A and B are shown apart, each in its own frame.
Chain A
Amino acid sequence: MHFVTNASTIASNKQMNKMHDDENVLKRIKEGHIEDFALLVNKYKGMAYSIAYRITDNREDAEEVIQDAFLKSFKAIKSFKGNSKFSTWLYRIVYTTSISRTRNFNRIFSDLSNAGNISNSNEETSYIIEKEDRTKYLKLALNNLKAEDAIVISLFYYDEKSIEEIGEIIGNSNNNTKVKLFRARKKIEEFLIKMLKKEAKEII
């Protein structure tokens, strides 16, 4: 007798394990082990900072925002019922706190795409794109998106959040979120094609 487990089951098991880890940590915090909150801070500060930085565009502001967000989440932890993942709830707090702090609303909701201004580096890119370059160009492409689109891409691909979870974080319906994700991918494609011409296919 042997058991076959496919990749998606392994992935969903990993997600389940993550949730159980967070559940256990949250349970301990609610029981009074405040020091365990540091585990959650360490685990989620990266993505939280990324979200805040994309919106505020300033390191100090972003750090202040996520500090506030973590404090708010700690104070409200007893009322957190676990209907969604802790990370989804936290990122929602980060997102709304960032929006309320930012002075530049254009950055979040307007299309900042300036791909046309980037010099045509066709001569430099007539080689097979190495992994480091792919990362570099993708990062450029992400930075060229409006903040909300970059956040959607990061949450979907980097943090492996579902459409529902992303919608919950940014306060959009599932359909709107799907459309945002699709359009963001499209914009990345266009940016990369403009930059890299035929080599763009290696990335997208």
Chain B
Amino acid sequence: MENQFKKDIKSIELDQPSAEFTNLVMQKIYQDKTNLAYKPLISRKLLFIVYGLYISLFLINIVFTLDTPPIGLPEIYFKGKAYFANYLTPPVWMYFLLTIGSILILIDSIIYFIKQRGMKQHSAGFGIQS
């Protein structure tokens, strides 16, 4: 009778989740994985700030190499130029460090995008828009 009972229990059809259930789970997994696929070593926000300053100083430096002001009042221009020369010109070693840093960040970003692309290609099989 125990065997019969077991057979009868096994013949009860289990309730099933929706037909799309497996795809939904895999989509969520791929979404999570894409976000965490490769954490860049350096925070992107920090990079924006540092490089923003770097590029701004660099451009200002270029402007102040001119003998005559491109726009604006000459007085303000020459005062600004003097101030920049005394206090704001980054030392050479900083340019060197920032250049090395740029190369490392470029490599970091390339790896990040390659991994993300890889994740998106896998996820296409589960109906996730890439």
Contact = CB atoms under 8 A, between A and B. Distances in A.
Size range of the chain B interface in the assembly: 20 to 34
A45 B16 contact: yes
A157 B125 contact: no
Given A67-B24, A157-B6, A203-B8, A49 B16 contact: yes
B9 A158 contact: yes
A72 B94 CA distance: 46
B32 A71 contact: yes
A59 B30 CA distance: 25
A71 B29 contact: yes
A10 interface: no
B27 to A, nearest CB: 10
Contact of A49 (B6, B15, B24): B15
B51 interface: no
A25 interface: no
A135 B25 contact: no
A82 interface: no
A46 interface: yes
A204 B1 contact: yes
B10 interface: yes
A67 B14 CA distance: 17
A132 to B, nearest CB: 9
Interface stretch (A13-21, A30-38, A106-114): A30-38
Interface string B1-29: 10011101111101111100110111011
A135 B30 CA distance: 40
Interface of B: 1, 4-6, 8-12, 14-18, 21-22, 24-26, 28-30, 32-33, 122, 125-126
Interface of A: 34-35, 37-38, 41-42, 45-47, 49-50, 53, 59, 62-63, 66-67, 70-71, 74-75, 131, 134-135, 138-139, 142, 153-154, 157-158, 203-204
Given A71-B28, A138-B8, A142-B9, 13 more contacts: A34-B29, A37-B25, A41-B21, A49-B14, A49-B16, A49-B17, A53-B15, A67-B25, A70-B25, A75-B32, A131-B8, A131-B11, A138-B9
28 contacts: A35-B26, A38-B22, A38-B26, A38-B126, A41-B21, A42-B22, A45-B21, A49-B15, A59-B15, A62-B17, A63-B17, A66-B17, A66-B21, A67-B25, A67-B28, A71-B28, A71-B29, A131-B8, A131-B11, A135-B12, A138-B8, A142-B9, A142-B12, A157-B5, A157-B6, A158-B9, A203-B4, A204-B1
